[in-house]
């Protein structure tokens, strides 16, 4: 398994209790957030990640946050949680009305989000933080 799963299993097996797990669980979304932090437009970073094969063929599969939610749920179950997917709050990185678009149209529509994400990055920086997509369980 992955190092975090191995470590978590050992912590639980040793009898220690896990109070909280928090982390960036998606390489794709980490790539996106790093690109935003560098000042690149949201749409450009998503298109670049897609071109490089870092995203799923339909980038909404990554940008919707469900992959992160599934990983968080797996980790929570390893420490004995009985959470279900319905218990997990997920924030997609695109508006709901983009979900019905065909992939090429979705990719083109991403430019509409550039200013919003630039503003989010600036607000995070002003607060001494960095914009990240983080799971917290």
- Residue among 51, 71, 112, 129 flagged as catalytic: 71
Residue 112 known to be catalytic: no
Going from the C-alpha of 110 to that of each of 37, 72, 74, 115, the distances in angstroms are: 17, 27, 30, 10
Reduce the DSSP state of residue 130 to 3 states and report it.
coil
Task: Provide the 3-class DSSP secondary structure of residue 50.
Answer: helix
Backbone angles phi, psi at 23, to 5 degrees: -175, 165
User: Would you name the residues annotated as active-site residues?
Assistant: 71
């Amino acid at each position: 398994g992955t190092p975090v799963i191995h470590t978590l299993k050992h912590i639980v097996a040793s009898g220690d209790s896990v109070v909280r797990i928090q982390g960036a669980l998606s390489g794709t979304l980490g790539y996106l957030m790093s690109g935003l932090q560098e000042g690149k437009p949201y749409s450009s970073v998503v298109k670049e990640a897609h071109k490089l094969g870092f995203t799923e063929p339909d980038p909404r599969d990554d940008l919707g946050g469900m992959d992160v939610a599934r990983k968080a749920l797996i980790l929570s179950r390893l420490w004995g949680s009985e959470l279900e997917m319905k218990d997990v709050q997920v924030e997609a990185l695109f508006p709901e009305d983009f979900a019905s678009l065909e992939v090429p149209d979705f990719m083109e529509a991403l430019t509409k989000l550039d200013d919003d994400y630039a503003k989010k990055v600036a607000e995070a920086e002003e607060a001494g933080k960095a914009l990240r997509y983080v799971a917290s369980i």
